Amino acid sequence: MRHDGVSTAILASLCDMMAGTHPAFFAFRFPFLAYGLQVIILSLLLRAFHVGALRLHGEKDK
C-alpha cells in the first residue's frame, strides 16, 4: 500500500496531536485546518462548560 507524503504528514500530525507533541509546522502548512480544529475544540469546550454551569445552577435552585 503506497502512501504519499501529504497523507503521511497529516497522519503523523494527527498522531502527534493525540499524543500531546503536536508539531508547530502543522499550523503553517495547513493554517485553515489548524484554525478549524481550534474553533471546533473551543466551541465544544465552551458548550461543555455552559451545560455544566446550567446544571449546577438548576441544582442550586431546588
Asked whether 38 and 22 are in contact (CB, 8 A), the reply is no
pLDDT of residue 51: 85
pLDDT of residue 43: 93
Residues 21-36 have pLDDT tens digits of 555 665 666 777 778 8
The region, left, alpha or beta by phi > 0 then psi within -120 to 50, assigned to residue 37 is: alpha
Domain borders along the chain are 5-61
Low-confidence ranges of the chain (pLDDT < 50): 1
